[in-house]
Structure 1
């Protein structure tokens, strides 16, 4: 018990508050804000920290704050669309030990796990792993495995999930009203964590190239919702390929590249089945009761992102 307590103390010390300001004119500021706060966890003896990607998207300035309130400069090392992770490089000694990545994926059940966030409203919260299953975002995002935990962290963005040995299991991405795998009488609120299983195969690539090869894929600029086997456009990003092609909120997507789709996972995976970033994507949509075909000229999202001067 004492050994586990020391391991979690070391894990706690490795979680830093992350303060980010996006570049002026960043498109992501419309949904994420220009000033962002969350957490990052030290995973490398060379000062590399892991966080959730949206915190560092289009970042201009990055700072880390340790558990003693000391503020330290940092920079973005990687932003990975495919996994959802971000890497931050500290630009000053952190004086903390890096945490190990878990080698064995956790299983749903009663084993106590610990979620830790940093910052002014830092939390150390015992949680339970409710489920391991795929996740499809309303934005252009899908992963085959995500960790669903409960109860929820209030300040979840970039928070770290640890097993009793102090090994890192995942990074928090979302707060969800219900993390149960199927219909239930009562909702169980919680968080979605990106598992380190996704990170380990691409970590060297993220360190050297700033993103994984899988992130070079077609991007349309759509947010969609799945309801009763139908896909509806929720939002079209300004000046995105979808916007240029004339797609509108409320359009129902019935086919992509000739394949009928009724689930977000089908939509995104079919979009990426041909991984060429710059290609014509054919969408069949229903608008006001009429079927129509729209050709969207997809791009690599990385090419659309704003960057700090000199980067």
Structure 2
């Protein structure tokens, strides 16, 4: 991780924190309104859960990503399959999912795809949450409007704009042909849901980028892993 991009928001958490949703302070963008979209905004945002994971101290990724990791995930199937960004759950021993009502659900890792960066976790009990349908990220282009959402409803979501769609190559042998870059940056981007104008999942938040436009200008934004990369995996 260099000065231009950052992976996860890592912080300590406890059992008490599992039942206490954290307050949001999103001053970088405007929250979406239910009258601005053609879908049920509240129901769609209810598919986003907070994700907290614990990784052993001796794990290979512990010195880089820490042992206590926090982010988001999105419910994509009725049986409790949750899509997130993989660095939150790689080598994780314990995973908890927290919904908008503060209910905590244990989960386990199903898989981490290093080529795309996606992570999949399975809830160990019934979530009783709506699922978010997968969209078509190949149709997304510069200038499109998207919602980037964390767990917590409208207060955890902001309206964003696609500033660039281009190849992204990471220093850790990671490359995506059509990564999506959005502005403004969501402060809790890790695993955040990126929602298109039809209320479908267009991608998953991965990185904070200081050169989101792809040039020398420092414009804070997020790098989004496009959802179409998931479809061959499922």
Same fold (TM over 0.5): yes
1:236-275 alignment to 2 at 5 Å?
none
Q: Is the 8 A contact 2:39 2:198 kept in 1?
A: no
Residue aligning to 2:77: 44
Is 1:189 matched with 2:224? no
- Give me the CA root mean square deviation: 1.9
Consecutive unaligned residues in structure 1, runs of 5 or more:
204-311
1:145 deviates by 1.7
Q: Is the 8 A contact 2:137 2:203 kept in 1?
A: no
2: CA distance, partners of 1:99 / 1:14: 6
Residue aligning to 1:165: 198
Q: Is the 8 A contact 1:15 1:42 kept in 2?
A: yes
2: CA distance, partners of 1:17 / 1:82: 24
1:33-112 alignment to 2 at 5 Å?
33-103=66-136, 105-112=138-145
Is 1:117 matched with 2:188? no
Residue range with higher mean Cα deviation, 167-176 or 22-31: 22-31
1:49 deviates by 0.6
TM-score normalised by L of structure 1: 0.61
Consecutive unaligned residues in structure 2, runs of 5 or more:
1-33
1:34 deviates by 0.2
TM-score normalised by L of structure 2: 0.80
1:175 deviates by 0.1
What is the SS of the residue equivalent to 1:59? coil
Residue aligning to 2:233: 202
1:5 deviates by 5.3
* CA displacement 1:140-171 (0-9 Å, x = unmatched): 21121211110001111100100121100000
1:132 deviates by 1.1
Aligned residues: 200
Higher strand proportion (structure 1 or 2): 1
Q: Are residues 104 and 19 of structure 1, via their aligned partners in 2, closer, same or farther at CA, if it must alter by over 3 Å?
A: closer
2: CA distance, partners of 1:104 / 1:83: 14
1:117 deviates by 1.1
